[in-house]
């Protein structure tokens, strides 16, 4: 069962939400964040990336950085830009990006259920990134960035949500990237009870994005022994059939000593290859290769697709085992400096630009990993290869904070 609870969120004044709320701290550089906060002193990046208010050579993991985050959060509260709800509530959060819309439940999820595997993960975490989030949460006594969770859709809850979002919204703004963000507050006791009981019948939740945030929250829960509100973490929970996963593409610095012609000949042992003007693969087990100023469509040969293991059957796994390691000499894509990853939100034109500029020798466009594959792998206790998924739209930091 999945236990979710209401909480008394710290939230922006509705008319200031568009100024305050920002993309997650980890999708932009300090320099990019500094440019934004220079134009907008209310930006939540001053809380989530507080190095923007310190000299540019400051170590971003210095204690004074986290202290500046607390100072900036306190300032937003003291000036009334952020206000804490009087009573615990649940919330709905809708995002509209082009033709895609998704509505999530904002709630406090259980750290104990994360540790017990009821909230399932599919990625490994890095200790340094966990440490950063632990220090941030501990210093601010607040979780300011939500974990992005999903669950197998429930028709009863879908009907409740559809009815709720037909009522007047509390917050409604469109961010600079064109994504519309709308929220509703659920404060009635009977509605909260209904939602709690509905999720109690859902066996598992799955982390889509936010593995380091959830791991950090669990560490704090353990160290504080659940005191205060530390037993729970901030989450936005979406039905699996509303999720939008974009591809996570690859660019390679060199051809590992191969000529383009020799590389293509070796690739023919693994793929059926044809020239193609469309840079985006049309289905699973297809890749796009940009080399020498033109795109080719690469389809894995059937003999490489016989495994019933969901991890072994992922395109990112097949690419690593059959191509990146043996042909390009990239044994560990986590640490190699000869490969980089480009989120699908940037499009395939970005891949062409990087190669045409001479920064990379070739690019590989991927077909998006499915949410069904993600859940199947998590159910089996598996770990997906790095950079397997890119979820869009991104949740906004600052729209809800959970005070622990």
pLDDT at 16: 98
User: Are both 73 and 185 inside the same structural domain?
Assistant: yes
pLDDT at 42: 97
User: Are both 263 and 205 inside the same structural domain?
Assistant: no
User: Are both 120 and 228 inside the same structural domain?
Assistant: yes
pLDDT at 345: 86
User: Are both 210 and 289 inside the same structural domain?
Assistant: no
Does 130 reside within a domain? Answer: yes
- Assign 387 a pLDDT band (cuts: 50, 70, 90): confident
Is pLDDT above 90 for 377?
Answer: yes
User: Are both 29 and 94 inside the same structural domain?
Assistant: yes
- Assign 335 a pLDDT band (cuts: 50, 70, 90): confident
Mean pLDDT of the chain: 96
| Domain total in the chain | 2
Does 312 reside within a domain? Answer: yes
pLDDT at 95: 98
Is pLDDT above 90 for 399?
Answer: yes
Q: What is the mean pLDDT of residues 334-341?
A: 92
User: Are both 217 and 337 inside the same structural domain?
Assistant: no
- Assign 276 a pLDDT band (cuts: 50, 70, 90): very high
User: Are both 118 and 208 inside the same structural domain?
Assistant: yes
In this predicted model, what pLDDT tens digit does every residue of 33-86 receive, in sequence order? Answer: 999 999 999 999 999 999 999 999 999 999 999 999 999 999 999 999 999 999
User: Are both 92 and 229 inside the same structural domain?
Assistant: yes
In this predicted model, what pLDDT tens digit does every residue of 287-317 receive, in sequence order? Answer: 999 999 999 999 999 999 999 899 999 999 9
pLDDT at 277: 87
Does 385 reside within a domain? Answer: no
Does 49 reside within a domain? Answer: yes
Q: What is the mean pLDDT of residues 107-125?
A: 96
Alpha-carbon distance 110 to 108, whole Å?
7
Q: What is the mean pLDDT of residues 203-213?
A: 96
User: Are both 290 and 346 inside the same structural domain?
Assistant: yes
Q: What is the mean pLDDT of residues 272-295?
A: 95
Is pLDDT above 90 for 135?
Answer: yes
State which residues form the domain around 344. 248-367
User: Are both 61 and 169 inside the same structural domain?
Assistant: yes
User: Are both 80 and 215 inside the same structural domain?
Assistant: yes
User: Are both 19 and 156 inside the same structural domain?
Assistant: yes
Does 382 reside within a domain? Answer: no
pLDDT at 346: 87
Q: Give the predicted TM-score (pTM) of the model.
A: 0.92
Does 381 reside within a domain? Answer: no
Residue scoring higher pLDDT (216 or 387): 216
pLDDT at 1: 80
Q: What is the mean pLDDT of residues 77-99?
A: 97
Is pLDDT above 90 for 114?
Answer: yes
Does 171 reside within a domain? Answer: yes
Is pLDDT above 90 for 107?
Answer: yes
- Assign 334 a pLDDT band (cuts: 50, 70, 90): confident
Does 256 reside within a domain? Answer: yes
pLDDT at 220: 98
- Assign 385 a pLDDT band (cuts: 50, 70, 90): confident
């Amino acid at each position: 069962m999945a236990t979710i609870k209401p909480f008394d969120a710290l939230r922006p004044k509705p008319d200031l939400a568009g100024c305050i709320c920002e993309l997650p701290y980890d999708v932009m550089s300090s320099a990019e964040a500094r440019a934004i906060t220079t134009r907008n002193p209310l930006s939540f990046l001053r809380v989530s990336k507080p190095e923007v208010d310190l000299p540019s050579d400051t170590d971003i993991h210095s204690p004074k950085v986290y202290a500046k985050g607390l100072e900036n959060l306190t300032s937003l509260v003291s000036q009334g830009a952020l206000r804490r709800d009087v009573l615990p509530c649940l919330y709905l959060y809708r995002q509209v990006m082009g033709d895609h819309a998704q509505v999530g439940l904002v709630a406090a999820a259980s750290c104990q259920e994360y540790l017990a595997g009821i909230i399932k993960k599919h990625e490994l975490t890095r200790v340094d990134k966990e440490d950063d989030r632990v220090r941030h949460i501990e210093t601010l006594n607040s979780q300011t960035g939500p974990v992005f969770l999903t669950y197998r859709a429930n028709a009863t809850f879908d009907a409740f949500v559809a009815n709720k979002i037909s009522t007047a919204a509390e917050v409604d703004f469109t961010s600079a990237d064109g994504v519309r963000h709308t929220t509703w507050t659920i404060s009635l006791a009977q509605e909260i009870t209904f939602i709690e009981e509905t999720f109690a019948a859902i066996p598992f939740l799955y982390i889509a994005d936010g593995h380091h945030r959830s791991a950090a929250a669990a560490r704090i829960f353990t160290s504080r022994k659940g005191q205060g509100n530390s037993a729970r973490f901030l989450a936005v929970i979406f039905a699996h059939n509303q999720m939008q996963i974009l591809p996570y593409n690859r660019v390679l610095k060199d051809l590992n000593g191969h000529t383009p012609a020799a590389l293509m000949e070796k690739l023919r042992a693994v793929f059926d290859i044809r020239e193609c003007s469309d840079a985006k693969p049309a289905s699973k087990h297809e890749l796009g290769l940009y080399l020498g100023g033109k795109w080719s469509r690469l389809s894995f040969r059937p003999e490489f697709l016989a495994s019933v293991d969901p991890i072994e059957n992922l395109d990112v796994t097949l690419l690593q085992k059959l191509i990146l390691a043996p042909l390009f000499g990239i044994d560990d894509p986590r640490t190699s400096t000869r490969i980089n990853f480009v989120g699908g939100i940037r499009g395939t034109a970005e891949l062409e630009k990087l190669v045409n500029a001479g920064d990379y020798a070739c690019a590989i466009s991927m077909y998006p990993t499915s949410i069904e594959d993600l859940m199947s792998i998590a159910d089996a206790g598996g770990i997906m290869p790095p950079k397997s998924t890119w979820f869009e739209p991104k949740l906004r930091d600052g729209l809800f904070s959970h005070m622990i």
